[in-house]
Structure 1
Amino acid sequence: MTLLITILALLTLVAVAGCIARWLPRVPLPILQVALGAVCGWPQQSVHLALDPQVFMLLFIPPMLFADGWLISKRELGAQSLPVLMLSVGLVLATVLVGGWGIAWLVPSLPTPMAYLLAAVLSPTDAVAVSAMVQGQRMTARLQNILEGESLMNDATALVAVKFALAAALAQHFSALGAAADFVRVAAGGIAVGLLFSLAADLLLQALLRGREHRTELPAVLLMLLMPFAPYLLAEHWGLSGVLAAVAAGMGASLLAVRRSGFNASQVRTRATAEVVRYVFDGLVFLLLGLQLTGILHALPDQLNLLDSPLSPSALRLWGTGLAILLLLLAIRFAGFLGAGLLRRHVPWLRRRSSGTPMSLATAAIGAIGGVRGAITLVAVLGVPLTMADGSPFPMRGLMVFLSGLVIVLSMGLAALALPPLLRRLPAAGALHDPHAGREIRWARRCSARAALRALAALAAQAPPQGPADMHRDICERIDHGYRHRLRQDGPAADADGRSQSRQLIALELRLRLEILQAERHELARLRLRHRINDETLRLLTHELDLVEAAVRNTH
């Protein structure tokens, strides 16, 4: 009963945070959710929930990363694949090596292996946190795609780094060559599992829905909502990257959906349900982060207790250490973004393969600050064992947990405060998406409309399957008068012949409308497959067609 009340309280807090965000539009919703969780978790008799890292990863991470993989524009991600790869691999390794050395210098009491372990824990940016923090910001599409692509791809590198840093801290054997081979195996295997599962799941769903595409099949909706968990569990069971498996499954499912341009009522219902589930899960993640803050403070050694004397000299040094670590991470990210820009500018092969304008100082600063730490970092540090191999307590574990939590909160606060003024300094600041997105959407609408007109002309030229020849003309003339004919069909005063003719007219109108809508879908899919439009444009216009078809079917 207590667990049920706790879950209901958390869901209520998610709704309360959303209501507060309407009154404070300048404060990012994740900041409000973390603050609300911290406030509610501070009193001893309030909401408290122990966070099991493995349960947290399984319950929250797969569906959110699957959704990010589905939603991210694959065309733009492919165009920025080189900077994303350099940041998701090279920047993580630089953070571990340079950051570990810097943390060991900043915190002399922390053993060197633990300093490198803490740097590995802090190396990944969190895809959920990054997406939530940049949502609604006036950020160029290129930079947003780089940040979101990096946060999706760097988890595998970071988790492998954590694994080997932990092995070194526990005085086990460490091999750089073995670490590199293990990273390739874990990352490539996770991606392969995700792609293969998305293909198998697509074949299974098509078999289940064959002949029932126009009806909402609730079992199929449930299977679609559960789809992110299976590739994650399979990859983790085989010792591969479950994180990358969930991302790859989302990308693969999205690409397969592009090639099926037909109407699917179950997918329309799944999309609406998934939006609610994603909103709830996003809110729960940040609320749980806030609820853990009190426990993180209690995890500190007694001599560093911040609850009794938060402004003592030792406490101030501890706060300053967390801020210094964040500044060190920002400096590494800033140098990484500038280094990637310099490589692209001076290496001909990279220059030919890259797209976009050169990296400016303002862009590098935004990229550094936009690398928000979140749930992945907290889960990784809470997964550090309590004891060493010989049974002795793990040294400075409480300090590592506290510093990780402090960096998470500070990185979110800094992004909320610094991103808006920095984004205004960009010369092309003006929209969240590409400035050509509006023209692209209008152009795609015209293409699909012309396809509909061509289909209508072809259908009008055909002999009618039944009824008089002028029925086609009558349908074209009375599209705007459908309600009158529906009333006439069901009117008590209509004779049998009138009702029969009206049923024929409405059935023909329904068929013509559905074939026209299908022609629009085929045209949009063709444009996407030829990379003339991106995933976002396709998703927007296809969703409009799905809503129109659902309305047409329900009113006929």
Structure 2
Amino acid sequence: MHNVETVLLVLMLGALTGIAARYVRAIPLPLIQIALGAVLSWPEQGLHISFDPELFLLLFIPPLLFADGWRIPKREFFALYRPILKLALGLVLFTVIGLGYLIHWMIPEMPLAVAFALAAVVSPTDAVAVSAITRNLGMPAQTMRVLEGESLLNDASGLVALKFAVAATLTGVFSWTAVARDFLWIALGGIGVGALIGWGFAVARDTVTRRLGDVAATQMVLLLVLLPFAAYIVGERVGVSGILAAVAAGVMTNFADLSRSEFVAERMQTEGTWAMVESAFNGAVFLLLGLQLPSIIGETLHEAGHLWWMLAGQAVAISSALLVLRWIWLTLGVQGSLWKAHSDGKMAERPSHLLTLASTLAGIRGAVTLAGALSIPMLLNNGAPFPGRNLLVFLATGTILFTLVVASIGLPLVLRRLPPRGEPAASREERRARLAACQAAIASMVLDKAHAQAADPQWVAQYQESAGRLTQEYRKRIDLLEDAPQPGTPEALAETPDVVHQRRRRYVVELELRLKTLHVERTALYAERHAHRINDESLRSLVGELDLQEVPLRKRLAVARLAAGLDAPPNGNR
């Protein structure tokens, strides 16, 4: 099948499996997609594609890592840099050395350099897989930031280790000095290239949009989607990490977005576009993993013959050892940094054995591991076959499946046993930010006395009437957002909990009524179009206005329902 047709088919199947997963919530979406890919390619007449690791890394990985770098909270990322770096650098080195010697001991026919190459392939966690599995499981927020930061940065260290393990196999020469020098160049150079490209794009975008405004929003969003590919390609051409370049470009772009509060259309289009890109490309990554499984397993088992059970046992043993090494490093090498972050107030959750176990199980391997394994050359410099390449690819694939399955089963069980955390810090901060915004809006409506005396009295009266209505609306929202008064204070004595609860329930009813009227307005507009009393352009414009009103209204209703102690909206308002 042609590459273009394959990509289109994979993207379509990714969307369809995303819909199907809504009906099969017990099985994580990545496992469904991998299984579907395997089923599609298993028969002889099935979908067979030649997997080009370089093309795969170029097409699918940069936008996903760019989006992760763009979305990850930078405050927590930089506040927790110590445990993140210990995992992204120290754990990779610990894994390559410890697991490499263990693999060579378990499989003596595999040369030590090849064993190190396999350990390097499986050492980095996969950002796409980690976020896909842990997103809706209730992982504590700061722990999730550490895991995301680790998976964004450890690709460089793992791929550098792989590069030198392969070079040692091909040439028989190994130098720690060369490893350190090349790692610094590849990692720091990738971050520098990505940051420079992201900064250059931000300056160019600011220059254009400050003159044109939101008129160029669509073009700017398209350029933003292409930015991670540009960062990756330039990084690879320069000889540094294209993966880290894409991540750094995403981080830099996010910093630039902080000064673009007035570009509403561009921001809304960007959010919608990236949500679609992430969903489609996430599905494509796991489907492509599944499409490779039958051929990898078939070729390896054909060579092994009746010893297939031994290969399966080796894959399980290596995967288990990988998680044990991760648990040891988290316990001995990272726990101190986590305790310090907790005592300094940078990490809300208290480190515990259960949290360490959850972080261990979240060490999921994915697309980068498979791409790294398949990038190993077929032949040595003298023309002989690369020793144990098929076995290496098989064991790396087994590690991916093992970590995905273990995380899918084990993480919900472990996270369920964590103590309740109360209101998450992010929710509390969001509530207080909403409160500050409402208070600032009320303060801005106070009319300056000198201005009021100089203005037309009729205008002043109209202004004060309008300001009174708006202030009342903001006061309702403040009632929902303010912290509960301490018992015994005048505020607590003035209003009983039942009075506060009833007032909040009335606000919920009001918001639900507003949402219902928006739906009625929209239905009436479509009826006008069906009756040919307005054209399509007018319909899109009018419905767009209602949609813009409904998005914040739904969010406000969700906050109001939580404040009023209600779980879900009535069926009619879904």
Q: Shorter-chain-normalised TM-score: which range?
A: 0.7 to 0.9
User: Per-residue CA shift, 1:116-168, capped at 9, x if unaligned?
Assistant: 11001111000000010101012111211111111011111111101111111
1:269-308 equivalence runs, <5 A: 269-300=269-300, 302-305=302-305
Say which of 430, 437, 440 aligns to 2:429: 440
| Distance in 2 separating the partners of 1:45 and 1:345 | 52
Q: Which runs of 5+ in 2 are unaligned?
A: 474-513, 519-544, 546-554, 560-574
1:179 matched to 2:176? no
- The amino acid of 1:72's aligned partner reads I
Please, which moves more after superposition, 90-99 or 222-231? 222-231
Structure 1 residue 342: Cα displacement: 4.8
Conserved in 1, the CA contact under 8 Å of 2:83 and 2:338?
A: no
Q: Which residue is equivalent to 2:353?
A: 361
Letter in 2 for 1:451: A
Task: Give 3-state SS (helix, strand or coil) of 1:125's partner.
Answer: coil
State how 1:222-371 maps to structure 2 within 5 Å.
222-300=222-300, 302-305=302-305, 312=306, 314-344=307-337, 355=347, 359-371=351-363
2:405 to 388, 410, 413: 413
Cα deviations by residue, 1:289-311 (Å, 9 ceiling, x for unpaired)? 00000121243274315xxxxxx
Q: Distance in 1 between matches of 2:41 and 2:285?
A: 14
**CA distance in 2: counterparts of 1:402 and 1:420, whole angstroms:** 28
Task: Please give the per-residue CA displacement for 1:396-423, whole angstroms capped at 9, x wherever unaligned.
Answer: 1111111111110111011001111111
CA 242–6 in structure 1, closer or farther in 2 if over 3 Å, else same? closer
Aligned position for 2:386: 394
From the superposition, tell whether residues 206 and 386 of structure 1 become closer, same or farther in structure 2 (CA, over 3 Å).
Answer: same
Q: Which runs of 5+ in 1 are unaligned?
A: 306-311, 484-509, 511-536, 542-556
Question: Quick one: which of 445, 450, 463 aligns to 1:456?
Answer: 445
Describe the SS at the equivalent of 1:20. helix
How many Å separate the matches in 2 of 1:174 and 1:350? 41
Residue 423 of structure 1: aligned partner: 415
Hey, what does 2:459 align to over in structure 1?
469
Structure 1 length as normaliser, TM-score? 0.80
**1:352–1:178 Cα change, 3 Å:** farther
**Separation in 2, partners of 1:219, 1:231:** 18
Amino acid at match of 1:164: F
Output the amino acid matched with 2:161: A
Whole-angstrom distance in 2 between the partners of 1:256 and 1:451? 24
Partners of 1:21 and 1:345 lie apart in 2 by 35
Deviation, structure 1 residue 267 = 2.8
What one-letter code is carried by the residue in structure 1 that aligns with 2:406? L
Letter in 2 for 1:38: A
Return the alpha-carbon distance in structure 1 between the equivalents of residues 449 and 229 of structure 2: 48
**C-alpha distance 461-245 of structure 1, shift in aligned 2 (>3 A):** farther
Write the letter of the residue equivalent to 2:401: V
1:343–1:350 CA contact under 8 A, matched in 2? no
Question: Secondary structure of the equivalent of 1:158?
Answer: helix
Contact 1:156 1:186 in 2 (8 A): yes
Distance 1:143 1:478, change over 3 A: closer
What displacement does 1:78 show?
Answer: 1.8
> Matched residue of 1:457: which SS?
coil
Paired amino acid for 1:457: V
Q: Distance in 2 between the 1:319 and 1:10 partners?
A: 28
1:270-328 Cα deviation digits (max 9, x unpaired): 221121111000000000000000121243274315xxxxxx4x111111110000011
Alpha-carbon displacement from aligned partner over 1:499-549 (angstroms, at most 9, x marks no partner): xxxxxxxxxxx9xxxxxxxxxxxxxxxxxxxxxxxxxx9xx99xxxxxxxx
Q: Is contact 1:344–1:351 with CA below 8 Å preserved after alignment?
A: no
The aligned counterpart of 1:43 is: 43
1:144 aligned partner = 144
Give yes or no for contact 1:235–1:242 (8 Å, CA) kept in 2.
yes
Contact 1:121 1:381 in 2 (8 A): yes
For residue 18 of structure 1, what is the aligned residue in structure 2? Answer: 18
**Structure 1 position 219 matched with structure 2 position 219:** yes
For the 8 Å contact 2:319–2:402, the answer to whether it is kept is yes
Percent of aligned pairs with the same amino acid: 40
Moved more, 463-472 or 21-30: 463-472
One-letter code aligned to 1:128: V
What is the aligned partner in structure 1 of residue 9 from structure 2?
A: 9
Name the amino acid aligned to 1:440: E
Structure 2 counterpart SS, 1:228: helix
The CA deviation at 1:330 is: 0.6
TM-score by length of 2: 0.77
Cα displacement (A) at 1:351: 7.3
Amino acid at match of 1:66: F
Do the aligned partners of residues 293 and 454 (structure 1) sit closer, same or farther apart at CA in structure 2, a change above 3 Å counting?
same
Whole-Å Cα distance in 2 between the matches of residues 210 and 349 of structure 1? Answer: 41
Relative contact order, CA 8 A, sep 6+: which one is greater? 1
Residues 448-496 of structure 1 deviation map (CA, whole Å, 9 limit, x = unaligned): 1111122222589747999963453465478799x9xxxxxxxxxxxxx
Distance 1:461 1:67 in 2: 50
CA contact (8 A) 1:216 1:265 kept: no
Tell me the number of residue pairs that the alignment of Structure 1 and Structure 2 aligns: 479
1:101 matched residue in structure 2: 101
Larger deviation, residues 105-114 vs 81-90: 105-114
Residue equivalent to 1:525: none
Alpha-carbon separation, structure 2, partners of 1:465 and 1:290: 71
Change (3 A) 1:210 1:344: closer
Deviation at 1:428, TM superposition (A): 4.1
Superposition deviation, residue 44 in structure 1: 1.8
Change (3 A) 1:343 1:243: same
| Distance in 2 separating the partners of 1:30 and 1:62 | 19
- Paired with 1:5 and 1:354, the residues of 2 have a C-alpha distance of 48
Query: Counterparts of 2:98 and 2:434 in 1: how far apart (Å)?
Result: 50
Aligned 8 A contact 2:103 2:318 in 1? yes
Report if aligned partners of 2:341, 2:347 keep a CA contact under 8 Å in 1: no
**Aligned partners of 1:338 and 1:359 also within 8 Å:** no
Instruction: Check 1:396–1:444 CA distance in 2 against 1; reply closer, same or farther (3 A cut).
Output: same
SS of alignment partner, residue 447 of structure 1: helix
Q: Distance in 2 between matches of 1:141 and 1:90?
A: 23
Paired letter, 1:362 = L
User: 1:244 Cα deviation (Å)?
Assistant: 1.0
Contact 1:140 1:428 in 2 (8 A): no
Q: Does the CA-based 8 Å contact 2:87-2:334 persist in structure 1?
A: no
**Root-mean-square deviation (CA), in Å?**
3.2
Local SS of the residue matching 2:22? helix
Residue 128 of structure 2 aligns with an amino acid whose one-letter code is V
Residue type at the aligned position of 1:78: F
